[in-house]
Structure 1
Amino acid sequence: MNEKRTAGRGAGTFPGEEPHVADAPNSSHGSDSDAEAIGRRVQRLRAERGLTQRQLAEPAYTPAYVSTLEAGRVRPSEAAVRHLAERLGVTYEELATGRPAHLATDLRLRLVEAQRTLATGAAEDAAATYSRLLAEAEGLGLGEERATALLGLGQCALETGDLPVAREYFESAEQILRDAPLPRRAPAVRGRAVAHLLAGELRYACYLLESAIDELNSSGLQDPGALLLLYTASIAPYMDMGAHARAAQAGELALALAPQVSDPELVAGLHRSVARTLIAAGRTTEADASLAKAAEIYQQLQIRTEMAHCHWMRGYVRAQDGDLSGAEAELRAARDMLASKRAALYTAQVEVELADVLRRSGRTTEARELLHRLLGELHPERGSVHAGGAHRLLGLVHEDEGDLEAAEEHYVSALALLERAGAAGDLADICRLLGDLLRRLGRTEAAMDAYRTGLGHRASPGSTTLGPAPVRPPAARVPSDGAGPSARHTPAPGTPRRPA
């Protein structure tokens, strides 16, 4: 019988065997040393149990096949390994890899606990746990668990604002999962995209997400959970780029997929992201209801960072409605929750929104001091869109105070940051502010140049210039009850800038 092995990778850790690193998960190839290790394990376990080769083989295989397998001259198929494991009274994983099954199970349980630490505590504490678990997974040759630990470390780095390190972790996870189906790799793709988004690389974030969406839909791998994750993640960079039609379409497609998804955290993320398109469309009551749904789920799951993001966006909704005291309360709640988790970059981003509320409340000095401090924490490689927002607000403060030269400097700085990021909506707004200021100063030609720059960035609303929009999933149906986001509205400047 010519059996070929399709499973059975891993580190041999039975007594008397030398451990070796496992192949990447979901790989279908094997090596002669793998076959020999399985053969030795089968022979030893059979002898310990007093079984003959015939007793072990029947009824599915022949004694000759077992003899050949024990000699390491054949790579057993997954079905063969499962048959032999059942006859020998061990798990498939033990026979295939040489690892006692409880080692992988225990590691997976501790990875879940690390995720809980990240959800409820400080990212640095979770990162320390993930690092230990990553080392264990590497020692045991557990590819899937290595990838899970790397994804966790990437999420920790996003929270602490170490964006280059976050990208490296997500890229490493993708590499480990390179032979896995795309739905399994989707969280790593999403993580990379968020890291690029936070760094102000909006166009590349869109490219990563659109490419993965198209691959999923065109390959027949229309996994609802993976698609929901990717469509939801694309809303933030689309909105920042001024691609409002695409953001609304992504929200509608994600809403259509939601009934097929059982993961409550994914559904909560959908409601939170769709709320942003509703805010931009001026549908604040619906946005508030969507955020309330997300907050309820996050509260049940005890995910503090995402709860803080809901407070953040609700603060923006309150500010849009003119409820400045309510907005301040929501933003301070978000800031305090993020600060308690030592999520430095997110905390700084919320404080930019808070500074705007303080300025509008007449507390100019407090707003100015806060913004100057934030500019020491935000820079082009770390929150460029929010750094541009901080310069914009400082320009408004100085303009209100009559210091037009200082106002111009901050507007120009904001323009450079936002142009680098490709944040089209905010670019148009800052060009208008700069143009109005220059016109007041009598510099008409310079003012016209600023206006033209702004018009140029708004010339093609709803387009990322990345080519056709991502393919729709064949089974997706856009809601027809009017509950979804609208693509026909332009957001007010200052729409919350948040990761998907």
Structure 2
Amino acid sequence: MAQNVPQEGPPEGVRPDDPAEIGRRVLRLRGERGLTQRQLAEPAYTPAYVSTLEAGKVRPSEAALRHLAERLGVGYEELATGRPAHLAAGLRLRLTDARRALATGAPEDAAELYRVLYEEAVTHALPQEQAAALLGLGDCLLEAGELADARDRFAAAEHLLADEPLPRRVPAIRGRATAHLLTGELRYACYLLESTLDELNAAGLHDPEALLLLYTASIAPYMDMGAHARAAHAAELALALAPRVDDPALVAGMHRGVARTLIAEGRIAEADASLAKAQELYRHLHIRTELAHCHWMRGYVHAQNGDLEHAENELRTAREILASKRAALFTEQVEVELADVLRRRGKTDEAEALLRPLLTSGADDMEGAETDEADGDEADGDETGAGTLGARRGAVHAGGAHRLLGLIAEERGDTERAEEHYCAALSLLERSSAVGDLADLCRLLGDLLRRTGRVEAAMDAYRTGLGHRAAPGTTTLGPAPAAPPM
């Protein structure tokens, strides 16, 4: 699309509303229109005042600027700030175009639009539009699997909006929490969301859209951590808030999140109905990534219900949509769940062929996780390479992939390889606090160790699993955030 050429701005470090900059603009515009200082000043002001103003020796009042703008034939805002008339509105319209490009196309194509818009917003000192462009860039980077860069963009948007009311900052906070969730930092994702909810409620800022966004975003990390009761409570609050929200995309996201809690409670038909509502909204809005997530979760619902044929079809549809959008990380995560269904359907070779390109070897990934543990915060800047799941990129699904490869190795009688994969999965899931999956993994590892004669080691594995099952979520989460008055 054609881009507007930005007008020349003030020198770096000079504010556009500085008296010298305003004087320079008045002088330039007066010259372009062929007016004398007297013609510009009359009838309200003197030529001497215009001369002093053009020299940057006086800050004009709003009344003076409005008089001069009318005589010069420009808008008040353009004369006061140097921004062309309707610039902000035009940028916001193009931001909507970029959002549509992300919904329907590849993230890197939308990212280029957002970068251009961000640069223009910086040139013209438009912080709101800068923040909107950064939020869009963050979403693009999430889809592309570039989690550290996405986190940085969301943090920069939050910083730009620091003086705005907290509800305005919620999309940036939710973006940061999502990046941490996908990295595998479940506890920190919960902390960000819960502390923001507490702050909103303590301040009496009961903004329905902000609350719905936060409660919906908290369901996934709660479920992965095994805190099912807390996830169900968040889902109940989200459902109660939905009638007060006009944004259909937010409501669709709520239905998708609530479905996870219904699945955990065994309410499969209700979960599928909730996903169908979300799917229809996303299809109507042409939001392809979220539509793919609905197919993805419906595949999970069918798999939980034992309908593996329909599960495979839904997951293949999700994979096809995400791959066509080049949403790398989400595509890889769907492939892990598709591989699980394929293995259960007896298509073991196809399942293994899907999983192996997603991971380094079991032993290598185990060593990588231990290295990250030793390096601490320094590992944050060292993302796992694009195209592979690991400790810093999709950790929960990386653990799931190793678990599946372990099962496949066991079925083939390769117990040594199976143990390597189980240990790699255990390391990844412990680091991410995904206690919901840890107990089952400890059982698998314990059974393997017992069958190979290592009874004491098997007992240790079983004890670890029982510890995770005893009180899921209670060792990693503090008190739940207070519910808002509904």
TM-score interval, normalised by the smaller of the two chains: 0.7 to 0.9
Residue in structure 1 matched with residue 303 of structure 2 by the alignment: 319
Residue in structure 1 matched with residue 442 of structure 2 by the alignment: 431
Q: 1:313 to 1:33 in 2, by over 3 A?
A: closer
Query: Is the aligned partner of 1:300 residue 2:284?
Result: yes
Query: Is the aligned partner of 1:176 residue 2:187?
Result: no
Deviation at 1:461, TM superposition (A): 2.4
Residue in structure 2 matched with residue 482 of structure 1 by the alignment: none
Alignment partner for residue 451 of structure 1, among 424, 445, 462? 462
Residue in structure 2 matched with residue 145 of structure 1 by the alignment: 129
CA–CA distance in structure 2, aligned partners of residues 300 and 72 of structure 1: 57
Residue in structure 2 matched with residue 494 of structure 1 by the alignment: none
Deviation at 1:177, TM superposition (A): 1.4
Identity within the alignment, %: 69
Deviation at 1:76, TM superposition (A): 5.4
Query: Is the aligned partner of 1:133 residue 2:144?
Result: no
Alignment partner for residue 252 of structure 1, among 236, 260, 265? 236
Answer yes or no: is the 8 Å Cα contact 1:238–1:464 preserved in 2.
no
Alignment partner for residue 481 of structure 2, among 463, 470, 483? 470
Residue in structure 2 matched with residue 362 of structure 1 by the alignment: 346
Answer yes or no: is the 8 Å Cα contact 1:119–1:303 preserved in 2.
yes
Q: 1:81 to 1:380 in 2, by over 3 A?
A: farther
Answer yes or no: is the 8 Å Cα contact 2:9–2:123 preserved in 1.
no
**Count of residue pairs brought into register by the alignment:** 448
Amino acid at match of 2:10: P
CA–CA distance in structure 2, aligned partners of residues 129 and 427 of structure 1: 42
CA–CA distance in structure 2, aligned partners of residues 73 and 455 of structure 1: 75
Query: Is the aligned partner of 1:120 residue 2:104?
Result: yes
CA–CA distance in structure 1, aligned partners of residues 21 and 313 of structure 2: 63
Residue in structure 2 matched with residue 387 of structure 1 by the alignment: 398
CA–CA distance in structure 2, aligned partners of residues 80 and 282 of structure 1: 70
Residue in structure 1 matched with residue 378 of structure 2 by the alignment: none
CA–CA distance in structure 1, aligned partners of residues 102 and 191 of structure 2: 28
Query: Is the aligned partner of 1:397 residue 2:408?
Result: yes
Deviation at 1:315, TM superposition (A): 0.4
Deviation at 1:294, TM superposition (A): 0.5
Residue in structure 2 matched with residue 214 of structure 1 by the alignment: 198
Which SS does the other structure have where 1:414 is aligned?
Answer: helix
Highest RCO, 1 vs 2 (Cα 8 Å, sep ≥ 6): 1
In terms of fraction of residues, the more helix-rich structure is 2
Deviation at 1:462, TM superposition (A): 4.3
Structure-2-length-normalised TM-score: 0.84
Q: 1:442 to 1:337 in 2, by over 3 A?
A: same
Q: 1:40 to 1:464 in 2, by over 3 A?
A: farther
Deviation at 1:360, TM superposition (A): 0.5
Answer yes or no: is the 8 Å Cα contact 1:391–1:410 preserved in 2.
yes
Answer yes or no: is the 8 Å Cα contact 1:22–1:143 preserved in 2.
no
Which SS does the other structure have where 1:322 is aligned?
Answer: coil
CA–CA distance in structure 2, aligned partners of residues 222 and 243 of structure 1: 25
Which SS does the other structure have where 2:478 is aligned?
Answer: coil
Query: Is the aligned partner of 1:197 residue 2:181?
Result: yes
Which SS does the other structure have where 1:409 is aligned?
Answer: helix
Which SS does the other structure have where 1:101 is aligned?
Answer: coil
Residue in structure 1 matched with residue 269 of structure 2 by the alignment: 285
Deviations for 1:102-132, whole angstroms, at most 9, x for unmatched residues?
A: 2222222111111111100011111111112
CA–CA distance in structure 1, aligned partners of residues 143 and 420 of structure 2: 31
Q: 1:114 to 1:448 in 2, by over 3 A?
A: same
CA–CA distance in structure 2, aligned partners of residues 395 and 236 of structure 1: 25
Answer yes or no: is the 8 Å Cα contact 1:246–1:463 preserved in 2.
no
Residue in structure 2 matched with residue 263 of structure 1 by the alignment: 247
Q: 1:355 to 1:154 in 2, by over 3 A?
A: same
CA–CA distance in structure 1, aligned partners of residues 185 and 179 of structure 2: 9
Answer yes or no: is the 8 Å Cα contact 1:49–1:88 preserved in 2.
no
Structure-1-length-normalised TM-score: 0.81
Deviation at 1:375, TM superposition (A): 1.4
Deviations for 1:185-224, whole angstroms, at most 9, x for unmatched residues?
A: 1111111111111010111111111121111111222211
Q: 1:456 to 1:73 in 2, by over 3 A?
A: farther
Residue in structure 1 matched with residue 417 of structure 2 by the alignment: 406
Alignment partner for residue 164 of structure 1, among 148, 167, 175? 148
Amino acid at match of 1:415: L
Amino acid at match of 2:228: H
CA–CA distance in structure 2, aligned partners of residues 272 and 164 of structure 1: 25
Q: 1:69 to 1:190 in 2, by over 3 A?
A: farther
Deviation at 1:432, TM superposition (A): 1.2
Residue in structure 2 matched with residue 19 of structure 1 by the alignment: 10
Deviations for 1:22-54, whole angstroms, at most 9, x for unmatched residues?
A: 99xxxxxxx896356557768978989967688
Amino acid at match of 2:401: A
Deviation at 1:80, TM superposition (A): 9.6
Answer yes or no: is the 8 Å Cα contact 1:37–1:72 preserved in 2.
no
CA–CA distance in structure 1, aligned partners of residues 472 and 261 of structure 2: 15
Amino acid at match of 2:221: P
Q: 1:85 to 1:146 in 2, by over 3 A?
A: same
Q: 1:264 to 1:97 in 2, by over 3 A?
A: same
CA–CA distance in structure 2, aligned partners of residues 164 and 136 of structure 1: 24
Amino acid at match of 1:385: V
Q: CA RMSD in A?
A: 3.1
CA–CA distance in structure 2, aligned partners of residues 163 and 130 of structure 1: 17
Unaligned runs of 5+ in 1: 1-12, 24-30, 57-64, 477-500
Q: 1:133 to 1:18 in 2, by over 3 A?
A: closer
CA–CA distance in structure 2, aligned partners of residues 32 and 73 of structure 1: 15
Answer yes or no: is the 8 Å Cα contact 2:352–2:405 preserved in 1.
yes
Q: 1:93 to 1:458 in 2, by over 3 A?
A: farther
Deviations for 1:420-478, whole angstroms, at most 9, x for unmatched residues?
A: 111001011101111122222232211111111112223322436342211221x22xx
CA–CA distance in structure 2, aligned partners of residues 239 and 76 of structure 1: 58
